[in-house]
Amino acid sequence: MKTSLETLDGLKRSLTVKLPADTFKQKTDAVLQKMASQVTIDGFRKGKVPLSILRKQFGDNATSDAVNDIVNETLFDALTEANVTPAARPTITKIDSQDEKEFTYTVEFEVYPEIEIADFSKLKIEQTKVKITKADEERTLQGLVDQSTEYKSVKRKSKEGDQVTIDFEGIMDGKVFDGGKATDFQLVLGKGKMIKGFEDGLTDVAAGKSISLDLTFPKDYHAPQLAGKEVTFEISVTDVASPKSPKLDNKFAEKFGEKDMDALKKSMKEQMRVEIDSRIAEENKNAIFNALLAESDFTVPQSSIDSEAQNLLQEMKERMEQQGMPAQGDMDASAFNTEAERRVKLGLLINAVSSNHDLTASKEQIDAKLEEMSQMYGENAQQMIDYYNEDPTRLTHVELLVVEKMVQDTILEKATVTFKDKKFQEASQPQA
C-alpha cells in the first residue's frame, strides 16, 4: 500500500491510496463468485456460471461492490499510515481501476483543527450568586397556596383576586390574529399574567356582560408580529368566582406529601435551593465557556457542524411533539448552524483542556454527580440512580458532566473572577 496526503482548503484533506492491481482483480472475482451462488442464468446451473459470463452481465455491479469492499478493508490502515484522523466519514472522490499495475482510490475529508488554548489568566469572568430570603420563601409558599385555592361562583361584579372565565377574540387590522381567540379561558385578576390593561378592564364586571378593550402590546413582547401593535379585545365574561384559600395546617401539608407544615416548609426550602443552584450553575458555566470561546479563534469542520445542526433540529422536533405542537417539517437544519458551531467548538475546547491537564473522572466523582442530579427527582431519586447504573454506557453522560466541571474549576483557578448578586425571583425566571 502507498499513500499520499494532500492539503486542500482549510481543514479539507485528500488521501490517495494505491494498491496492486491484482488486489482489485481478486476482490472483483470474489464478488462475482458470490453472485454465482445467488443468480440464475438460462443454460447454467446455479453456482456453475462461468466468471466470464458473470463479468459480462454483472461487471459494473461487481466493480462497485469490489471498490466499496477494498475501501472498507484498507482505509483505516491507510489513514494510520498517513497519520491523519478524519472528523467524519471520508467520501470517495476518484477511482482508477484501469491501470494494469495499480488500483488507486482517492478520498476527501475534513480533519479537526489544531487548538491553541487561551491563557486562562487573561480571562475575565463574572459569576452569579443568589441568596434566598425570607420573602422568597413566603412567595413560594404563597404559590403552593394558590395551587390549592378553590373558586366558587358569585353573583356580583369582579374584583382583584377573583377568577373570571371568559371568551375572547383579539382583533388586529380587522381580523382575529393567530392565537388571539379562546373560550372558557380562566384568569385570576391581579396576577399580571396578561398585557397591561387587560386585567384592569375585567375588574368590576359581572358574569353575562361583554366588554371591548383597546390595548397595545408591549414593544418588547415575545411574539415579534404583535410587539407594539394596537389590538381590540372583544370579551364575554361567563363566570366570576371568589377565592377560598386553604388553611395552612397539617392537612394542607399532606397535599404535598409532607406530614406537617414544618416538614413542608423544610422540604420547600431544600427544593428551592436545589432548583436555584441548578439554574445558577448553568448560568455560571455559560459565563466561563463564553469567555473561553471569545479568546479561542479556530475553524471547525463543516461536517461536524452539519451533524450537530441535525441533532439540534431533532431535539426541537421532539420537544414540539412532547408539547403537542405540529413539527416544522420543512425546517432546514442549517437554521441551527450558529449554535451547532458553538457546541462543536466548545466540545473541542473542553476535550483539549481536559487532555492537557489530565482531567479524568473517578468513580467517586461520578457517583457524587449522580447523587446531586437525583435530587431533582424527589421521591424517584433512587430510581433515577438505578437507571444510570444499570447500563455503563449511560454513565458516559455523567462522566462528561464531571469532566466539564473539572475544566470549569481549572479555568476559574487562574482567571480573574468577579461576583454579582442576583435576586431569587430574577434568577428563577426561564431563560430566553
* Confidence at residue 153, expressed as pLDDT on a 0 to 100 scale: 96
Mean pLDDT of the chain: 90
Nearest CA-CA partner of 245 in 302, 180, 161: 161
* Confidence at residue 103, expressed as pLDDT on a 0 to 100 scale: 94
Q: Which residues are within 8 A (CB) of 91 and not within 5 positions of it... i.e. 6 or more apart?
A: 107, 108, 109
Answer for the pair 110, 303: CB distance below 8 angstroms, yes or no.
yes
* Confidence at residue 179, expressed as pLDDT on a 0 to 100 scale: 83
C-alpha cell, 54: 458473470
* Confidence at residue 188, expressed as pLDDT on a 0 to 100 scale: 94
List of the chain residues with pLDDT < 50 = 432
Q: Which CATH architecture has domain 150-244?
A: Roll (3.10)
Please tell me the pTM assigned to this model: 0.73
Q: Which CATH architecture has domain 120-131+252-428?
A: Orthogonal Bundle (1.10)
* Confidence at residue 201, expressed as pLDDT on a 0 to 100 scale: 95
* Confidence at residue 37, expressed as pLDDT on a 0 to 100 scale: 63
The structural domains of the chain, with segments of one domain joined by +, span 2-110, 120-131+252-428, 150-244
Three-point CA angle 122, 126, 131, nearest 5°: 155
CATH number assigned to the domain covering 2-110: 3.30.70.1050
* Confidence at residue 40, expressed as pLDDT on a 0 to 100 scale: 61
C-alpha cell, 122: 487573561
* Confidence at residue 107, expressed as pLDDT on a 0 to 100 scale: 96
Nearest CA-CA partner of 427 in 290, 264, 301, 283: 283
pLDDT in tens, 328-385: 556 788 989 999 999 999 999 999 999 999 999 999 999 999 998 888 787 788 999 9
Q: Which residues are within 8 A (CB) of 271 and not within 5 positions of it... i.e. 6 or more apart?
A: 378
Q: Which residue has the cell 471569545?
A: 294
* Confidence at residue 64, expressed as pLDDT on a 0 to 100 scale: 85
Measured between alpha carbons, how far apart are the two ends of the chain, in Å? 55
State residue 6 phi and psi, 5-degree precision.
-125, 135
Nearest CA-CA partner of 89 in 101, 100, 75, 103: 75
